[in-house]
């Protein structure tokens, strides 16, 4: 019995997040209320509050789902076969593409990002750390194969992520779209150069 009721609970939790994400996309993050979400699910707001103790908790849950999908794609590339530099490029471009689709331009989800940044959500930091670790996995594979030369793997991953901020950070993607700067492929070339074996000092 416990297992079945736990399953139903998880299911309701998921349903709330799916409906919340759809409403955020349709009418925007700020305008969506817990009552709207409850109404769509034909349940009472009180019942929604049994699963999420605040409106913010629902928002974080939706953000977590969206970020989790990017993490799954990045993980898939980290575990695939092929040269590390090819997969690093593919991973960086995938993160850029998914973040651009989700959060930039006309997307109403951009509102959610702005608030998440202002309020300094823990889910964002956890996501950035997960992305840095996944990028670190591929850099580590490249170091093992001799493609890359890395003294401190964790530091190299943080630097690679930081260098790509213009192409990862939703606010920077939006702000820099019309500004002069390198293309994403040119920037990846620069990062790969930074990870490549050095000439020995004369």
* CB of 9 vs a second copy, minimal distance in Å: 33
Beta-carbon count within 10 A of 13 CB: 16
191 binds a second copy (CB under 8 A): yes
Residue-wise burial string across 32-70, b where 16 or more C-beta atoms lie within 10 A, e elsewhere: bebebbbebbebeeeebeebbeeeeebbbbbbbebbeeb
42 binds a second copy (CB under 8 A): no
Vertex 56 angle, CA 51 and 60, to 5°? 80
Considering only residues 107 through 146, tell me which ones interact with a second copy, judged by CB under 8 A: 117, 120, 125, 128-129, 132
* CB of 190 vs a second copy, minimal distance in Å: 4
Considering only residues 152 through 181, tell me which ones interact with a second copy, judged by CB under 8 A: 155-156, 158-163, 165-166, 169, 171-172, 175, 178-181
DSSP H helical ranges for 28-183: 34-40, 45-51, 55-78, 84-103, 109-118, 122-145, 153-163, 165-168, 170-176
Which CB, 4 or 151, lies closer to a second copy? 151
CA atoms within 13 A on the CB side of 76: 9
Which CB, 81 or 199, lies closer to a second copy? 199
* CB of 170 vs a second copy, minimal distance in Å: 12
* CB of 49 vs a second copy, minimal distance in Å: 30
Query: Which DSSP state fits 43?
Result: S
Which CB, 44 or 175, lies closer to a second copy? 175
Contacting positions for a second copy (CB under 8 A):
117, 120, 125, 128-129, 132, 155-156, 158-163, 165-166, 169, 171-172, 175, 178-182, 186-187, 190-191, 193-200
């Amino acid at each position: 019995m416990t297992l079945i009721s736990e399953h139903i609970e998880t299911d309701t939790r998921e349903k709330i997040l799916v409906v919340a994400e759809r409403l955020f996309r349709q009418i925007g993050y700020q305008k969506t209320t817990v009552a709207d979400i409850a109404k769509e699910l034909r349940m009472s707001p009180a019942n929604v509050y049994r699963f999420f103790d605040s409106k913010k908790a629902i928002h974080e849950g939706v953000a977590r789902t969206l970020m989790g999908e990017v993490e799954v794609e990045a993980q898939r590339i980290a575990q695939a076969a092929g040269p590390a530099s090819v997969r690093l490029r593919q991973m960086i471009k995938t993160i850029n593409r998914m973040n651009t689709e989700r959060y930039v331009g006309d997307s109403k989800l951009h509102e959610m990002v702005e608030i998440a940044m202002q309020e300094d959500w823990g889910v964002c930091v956890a996501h950035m750390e997960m992305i840095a670790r996944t990028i670190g996995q591929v850099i580590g594979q490249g170091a093992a194969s001799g493609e890359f030369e890395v003294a401190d793997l964790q530091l190299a991953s943080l630097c690679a992520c930081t260098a790509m901020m213009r192409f990862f950070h939703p606010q920077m993607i939006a702000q820099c779209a019309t500004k002069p700067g390198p293309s994403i492929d040119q920037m990846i070339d620069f990062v790969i150069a930074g990870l490549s074996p050095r000439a020995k000092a004369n």
